[in-house]
């Protein structure tokens, strides 16, 4: 068993594969990206797993968490409103931008 545990049987053996692997001898990598695990980003298949590259404004293992950009105080003369994947500035009277 390449990526798993081998169990002896009367008629041979059986492999119990580690997560991310399949096949009789746990030799085949499962492409987790076919399940589309990345909610707001691109999936990159890796040996025995995957990695999400998140779109701007998103974070987390599966890009499922919105980043609150308002914590950086991006609005100089106004109020910041956090939005999914971004933010919006509502300017104070007399200010634009």
Instruction: Tell me the pLDDT band of 97, cut-offs 50, 70 and 90.
Output: confident
Q: How confident is the model at residue 96 (pLDDT cuts 50, 70, 90)?
A: confident
* Size (the chain), residues: 97
What is the distance between the alpha carbons of residues 16 and 62, in angstroms, rounded to a whole number? 26
- Residue 26 — very low, low, confident or very high, per pLDDT cuts 50/70/90? very high
Say which CATH superfamily domain 31-66 falls into: Laminin (2.10.25.10)
> Do the first three CATH levels of 1-30 and 67-97 match, i.e. the same topology?
yes
Q: What are the phi and psi torsion angles at 95 (to 5°)?
A: -125, 145
Mean pLDDT (the chain, rounded): 94
**Where are the domains positioned within the chain?**
1-30, 31-66, 67-97
Report pLDDT for 71.
94
Whether the model pTM is above 0.85: no
- The domain defined by 1-30 folds into Laminin (2.10.25)
Element (H, E) at 90: strand 86-91
Q: Count CB-CB contacts under 10 A for residue 26.
A: 20
pLDDT tens, residue by residue, 30-58: 999 999 999 999 999 999 999 999 999 99
């Amino acid at each position: 068993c390449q990526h798993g545990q081998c169990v002896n049987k009367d008629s041979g053996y059986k492999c119990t594969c580690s997560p991310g692997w399949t096949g009789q001898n746990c030799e085949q990598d499962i492409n987790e990206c076919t399940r589309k695990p990345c909610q707001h980003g691109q999936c990159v298949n890796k040996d025995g797993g995957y990695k999400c590259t998140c779109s701007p404004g998103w974070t987390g293992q599966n890009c499922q968490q919105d980043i609150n950009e308002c914590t950086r105080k991006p609005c100089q003369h106004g109020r910041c409103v956090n939005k999914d994947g971004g933010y919006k500035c509502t300017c104070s009277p007399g200010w634009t931008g």
